[in-house]
């Protein structure tokens, strides 16, 4: 390839926002020569690789901005450890139709059963599919909204929780809220209603939410919007965190006996 054409392609690719193409023209043309590619196949190769590179960049950028505590996937979740949990019900939520339908999911159960793991995995899947995601604990969200309200920046901060296609609200019910705090939660839930998905985790049953939100009427109003389009997944098996610890303790006891 003449140096002039090479330089021009590189410049044009840069202007078109295709930095990967600009860096890999030689690689592409080598593969075209080796594969004796026709024009269409060559164009197909270049365009599909550029799209893959761009999707991957967007995915990694989305994960960086999401505040997820980790990036575990459903493949890393051992469903055999929770035999009462239907893997199909969970895996159905990792499809684009969940996000497109602005549906919600609630993961309920005691500590250590993998509620956060599954919520994160569903968010990672949505991010992979091109949707924006954001992770927060309920307490952090309430604290941030209160601070924003006091500083007169409420609208701006609400946007953090309203903009993403999928909002993960972790640990609902660990701390009881005051009425004004519960009201902030209601604002987020009602403004997202039928506009964007919420995935939440809680160690409390819905009947206990009156205590969590300090007000039965407010809790009912929140549940009303949340549950209208919601998959409820209850995980009531043993704690995975304790699994290895208990096995180790039993081993110690056996060897001591
Ligand atoms: P929860 O949010 O219900 O308290 P987590 O999702 O934080 O529980 O899970 C605790 C730890 O155990 C995490 O490291 C998680 O990845 C792991 N874990 C829980 N359940 C499973 C499982 N069935 N298979 C694999 N890892 C699991
Ligand atoms: Mg958790």
**Domain boundaries in the chain?**
3-66, 74-243
d(CA 4, CA 18): 19
Which residues neighbour 111 within 8 Å (Cβ) at sequence distance 6 or greater?
A: 203, 239, 241
**pTM assigned to the model:** 0.90
Q: What is the DSSP string of 179-237?
A: HHHHHHHHHHHHHHTTTSEEEEEESS-GGGHHHHTT-HHHHHHHHHHHHTTEEEEE--S
Q: What is the average per-residue pLDDT within 208-231? A: 96
| pLDDT 10s digits, 88-133 | 999 999 999 999 999 999 999 999 999 999 999 999 999 999 999 9
Q: Is the pLDDT of residue 257 over 80?
A: no
Q: Ligand 1 within 6 A of 78 CB?
A: yes
Ligand number nearest CA of 72 is 1
246: pLDDT strictly greater than 70: yes
For residues 187-197, give the mean pLDDT: 97
Q: How confident is the model at residue 170 (pLDDT cuts 50, 70, 90)?
A: very high
- Rounded to whole angstroms, the Cα distance separating 241 from 157 reads 34
- Whether 107 is in the pocket of ligand 1, judged by its Cβ within 6 Å, is no
**pLDDT of 139 above 70:** yes
For 211-224, what is the mean pLDDT?
95
69 close to ligand 1 (CB < 6 Angstrom): no
pLDDT of 255 reads 78
Quote the percentage of the chain above a pLDDT of 70: 99
Q: What percent of the chain has pLDDT over 90?
A: 89
Res 15 pLDDT > 80 = yes
- Would the pLDDT of 1 be above 70? no
CA-nearest of 97, 95, 98, 119 to 107 is 119
Confidence label for 245 from pLDDT (cuts 50, 70 and 90): confident
Spatial separation of the C-alpha atoms in residues 50 and 36, rounded to whole Å: 20
Tell me the pLDDT tens digit for each residue of 36-66: 999 999 999 999 999 999 999 999 999 999 9
Output the pLDDT for position 243. 82
**Residue 22's pLDDT is what?**
86
Q: Could you say which architecture CATH assigns to the domain 74-243?
A: 3-Layer(aba) Sandwich (3.40)
Q: Does the Cβ of 116 fall within 6 Å of ligand 1?
A: yes
CB of 174 sitting under 6 A from ligand 1: no
* Residues 64, 44: Cα–Cα separation, whole Å: 30
Burial 203-221 (b: 16+ CB within 10 A, else e): beebeebeebbbbeebbeb
Nearest one of 223, 213, 196 to 106, comparing CA atoms = 223
Across all residues in the chain, what is the average pLDDT? 94
Take atom 26 of ligand 1 and give the residue whose Cα is closest: 77
Shortest-distance ligand to the CA of residue 119 = 1
Please compute the mean of the pLDDT values over residues 124-145 and round it to a whole number: 98
């Amino acid at each position: 390839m003449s140096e002039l054409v090479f330089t021009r392609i590189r410049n044009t690719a840069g202007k078109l926002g295709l930095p990967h193409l600009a860096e890999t023209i030689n690689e592409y043309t080598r593969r075209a020569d080796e594969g004796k590619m026709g024009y269409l196949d060559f164009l197909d190769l270049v365009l599909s690789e550029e799209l893959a590179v761009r999707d991957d960049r967007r995915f990694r950028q989305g994960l960086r901005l999401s505040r997820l505590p980790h990036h575990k996937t459903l493949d890393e979740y051992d469903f055999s450890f929770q035999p009462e949990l239907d893997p199909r019900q969970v895996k159905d939520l990792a499809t684009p139709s969940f996000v497109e339908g602005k549906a919600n999911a609630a993961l309920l159960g005691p500590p250590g059963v993998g509620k956060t793991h599954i919520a994160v995995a569903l968010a990672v899947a949505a991010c992979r599919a091109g949707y924006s995601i954001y992770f927060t604990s309920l307490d952090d969200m309430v604290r941030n909204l209160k601070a924003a309200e006091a500083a007169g920046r409420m609208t701006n901060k609400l946007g953090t929780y309203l903009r993403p296609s999928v909002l993960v609200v972790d640990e609902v019910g660990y701390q009881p809220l005051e009425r004004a705090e519960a009201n902030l939660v209601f604002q987020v839930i009602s403004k997202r209603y039928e506009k964007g998905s919420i995935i939440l985790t809680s160690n409390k049953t819905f009947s206990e939410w009156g205590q969590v939100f300090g007000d039965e009427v407010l809790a009912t109003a929140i549940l009303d919007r949340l549950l209208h389009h919601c998959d409820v997944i209850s995980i009531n098996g043993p704690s995975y965190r304790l699994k290895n610890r208990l096995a180790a303790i039993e081993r110690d006891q056996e060897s001591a006996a």
